[in-house]
Amino acid sequence: MVAETNVPDLYGPLLAKALFPAFEAARGRPTVPLLRYLEGTERWSRPAIRDLQAGFLRRLIRHAYLHTAYYRDLLDQRGLTPADFETVDALEQLPILDRDTVRTSFEARMAAAPPKWVIEKTTSGTTGQPVVVKYNAESRHWRDATRWRGYGWSGYRIGMRALHYWGAGPRADSWVKRSKVAIDRALKRDLYIDCTPRGDEALLTAVQQLRKFEPQVMVAYTAGAAALAKFVIEHKLRSWKSFPVLVGAERLWPHDREMIEQAFGPVFETYGCREVMLIGSECEIHDGMHTSMEKLVVELIVREADGTVRTAKPGETGEVAITDLHNLACPMIRYITGDLAVAREYEPCRCGRGLDRIGPIEGRVTETLRDGNGNAVGGLVFNILFGVMSHVARKFQVIQRLDGSVVMKVVPNVGDRLPEAENTKVHEFARKYLPATPFTIEYVDDIPLTAAGKRKVVIVEKPTS
């Protein structure tokens, strides 16, 4: 039975039209006017959007050449100057930026001139090797506006009650920080529920919170939303009207889409990473994901056996390479995210937007662990932990043995083990998310890649017969 409500929502429109714009403006963030700008450019023709990209790219290359040691040396070694980058296609003259290089070149890529970096983030380590990213305010503003634009294609608008069924990292250290986060979420009408525990009790609690909160939209890990949807369907718990569900972080399989739509409402796939945030998002046509062209150059590339790199052909799977057009503080040009996606030949989308499309994403499949009670636990949980521990560990891998025990392999940054404080934190994290599960840390010198060149973060051993 679907719940009905006739209570008018007065706070939502007030938040969207007055409070949020005023709050952003007071903090010097042009989020709302930039969002309005993007809602216009998305309707431009593809050549016009590519010209806009090219202008931003020329500025980025010029700034990187003049003010970073890494790109100045790189262009000089190849006999290139900023004048050689008149079009977006000219990016092919530069090598790709893999994770090893992005780590070792970090200081050399820091610009010696303004704009300076204002935000530092560490990736969640989906490939097992976290990366530190620093970026300037302009990049942050474009990230925020692009996210709201992409989410808006699902019907998600500023001011809506939004349920975030997402991973929960370690709590903030201080009461002040925790209080600030709680107040901010309450004012913005955001409810966060940890999607990692997936036993019946945790799923039932999530349903109860959902009913009480009455969300108008959900943002969720794909596998988390699918697990909750399956629970709702199996136990016949749905008692709410349909609302859009935006999913990301893992691949969306057709059967998962069907379950989520049956349990909650229409599904919109998104793709992003902490290095640049939203890369692509599905529109109402549900035919691939439009890329954030005004903010990024998104390439799908194929590395040949002889070492050459080429653009993936339509229908072919390629590695995702991204260039943040607005990060002048620490440029990342042709950065390999570690994900795989299917290339698409350009054709106008029936929605009328001129933005390129990619998809599906094929490199975000995370295996599911089981705790000592047999409950499913999302494998991304340890990615979340290491997203805030890159200062003590370079690589990691979690293996669940056939007997149910879990071993975390770790390559420490310094010495042969984690500092005691971090070691304690890891074990506490494991006890919370993998109760009654034998858990050990194994220190290793390296964690080898698979034959496909990937590092599997989570391995669940399966019987051989």
Cis (ω within 30 of 0) for the bond into 360? yes
Place 160 in a pLDDT band, splitting at 50, 70 and 90.
Answer: very high
Q: What is the pLDDT of residues 55-93, one digit of tens each?
A: 999 999 999 999 999 999 999 999 999 999 999 999 999
Give the 3-state secondary structure of the chain.
CCCCCCCCCCHHHHHHHHHHHHHHHHCCCCHHHHHHHHHHHCCCCHHHHHHHHHHHHHHHHHHHHHHCHHHHHHHHHCCCCHHHCCCHHHHHHCCCECHHHHHHCHHHHCCCCCCCCCEEEECCCCCCCCCEEEECHHHHHHHHHHHHHHHHCCCCCCCCCEEEEECCCCCCCCHHHHHHHHHHHHHHCEEEEECCECCHHHHHHHHHHHHHHCCCEEEEEHHHHHHHHHHHHHCCCCCCCCCCEEEECCCCCHHHHHHHHHHCCCEEEEEEECCCEEEEEECCCCCCEEECCCCEEEEEEEECCCCCEEECCCCCEEEEEEEECCCCCCCCCCEEEEEEEECCCCCCCCCCCCCCEECCECCCCCCEEECCCCCEEECCHHHHHHCCCCCCEEEEEEEECCCCCEEEEEEECCCCCCCHHHHHHHHHHHHHHCCCCCEEEEECCCCCCCCCCCCCCEEECCCCC
Query: What is the structure's pLDDT at 387?
Result: 64
Listed in sequence order, the residues at least 6 apart from 323 whose beta carbon sits closer than 8 Å to its beta carbon are 57, 60, 91, 296, 297, 299, 332, 333, 334, 335
- Decide which of 447 and 405 is more confident: 405
φ and ψ of 338, to 5 deg: 95, 0
**Angstrom distance (rounded) from CA 258 to CA 178:** 37
Place 169 in a pLDDT band, splitting at 50, 70 and 90.
Answer: low
Rg (alpha carbons) of the chain, rounded to whole number? 22
The rounded mean pLDDT for the chain is: 90
Percent of the chain with pLDDT over 70: 92
- 368-460 has which fold? GMP Synthetase; Chain A, domain 3 (3.30.300)
pTM to 2 decimals? 0.82
**Angstrom distance (rounded) from CA 376 to CA 199:** 6
Place 459 in a pLDDT band, splitting at 50, 70 and 90.
Answer: confident
Q: What is the pLDDT of residues 331-376, one digit of tens each?
A: 999 999 888 899 999 999 999 999 999 998 876 545 678 899 988 8
Which of the residue ranges 39-53, 172-186, 434-448 has the most confident prediction, judged by mean pLDDT? Answer: 39-53
* Cβ neighbours of 97 (radius 10 Å): 21
Q: With a cut of 90, say whether residue 184 has pLDDT above it.
A: no
| 420 alpha carbon, distance to own chain's centre | 30
Q: What is the pLDDT of residues 118-156, one digit of tens each?
A: 999 887 655 556 789 999 999 999 999 999 999 999 999
**Angstrom distance (rounded) from CA 356 to CA 289:** 8
Q: With a cut of 70, say whether residue 454 has pLDDT above it.
A: no
Q: What is the pLDDT of residues 197-221, one digit of tens each?
A: 888 999 999 999 999 999 999 999 9
For residues 442-460, average pLDDT: 74
- Decide which of 458 and 366 is more confident: 458
> Which residue do the tokens 């490199």 mark?
363
For residues 247-251, average pLDDT: 86
> Which residue do the tokens 């970090």 mark?
106
For residues 420-426, average pLDDT: 90
Q: Which residues pair with 407 in a beta bridge?
A: 399, 440
Locate 82 and state its tokens. Answer: 């900023």
For residues 293-298, average pLDDT: 98
Query: What is the structure's pLDDT at 399?
Result: 93
Locate 19 and state its tokens. Answer: 């409070």
Q: What is the pLDDT of residues 344-353, one digit of tens each?
A: 999 999 999 9
Q: With a cut of 50, say whether residue 1 has pLDDT above it.
A: no
Length of the chain: 465
Q: Are 33 and 22 within 8 A, CB to CB? A: no
Query: What is the structure's pLDDT at 367?
Result: 66
Closest CA to 323 of 129, 94, 128, 112: 94
Q: With a cut of 80, say whether residue 389 has pLDDT above it.
A: no
**Angstrom distance (rounded) from CA 56 to CA 47:** 14
Q: With a cut of 50, say whether residue 3 has pLDDT above it.
A: no
Query: What is the structure's pLDDT at 391?
Result: 80
Q: With a cut of 70, say whether residue 158 has pLDDT above it.
A: yes
Q: Are 85 and 57 within 8 A, CB to CB? A: yes
Q: What is the pLDDT of residues 114-126, one digit of tens each?
A: 999 999 988 765 5
Locate 67 and state its tokens. Answer: 């003010």
For residues 255-263, average pLDDT: 96
**Angstrom distance (rounded) from CA 24 to CA 451:** 47
Listed in sequence order, the residues at least 6 apart from 149 whose beta carbon sits closer than 8 Å to its beta carbon are 35, 38, 39, 42
* Cβ neighbours of 455 (radius 10 Å): 18
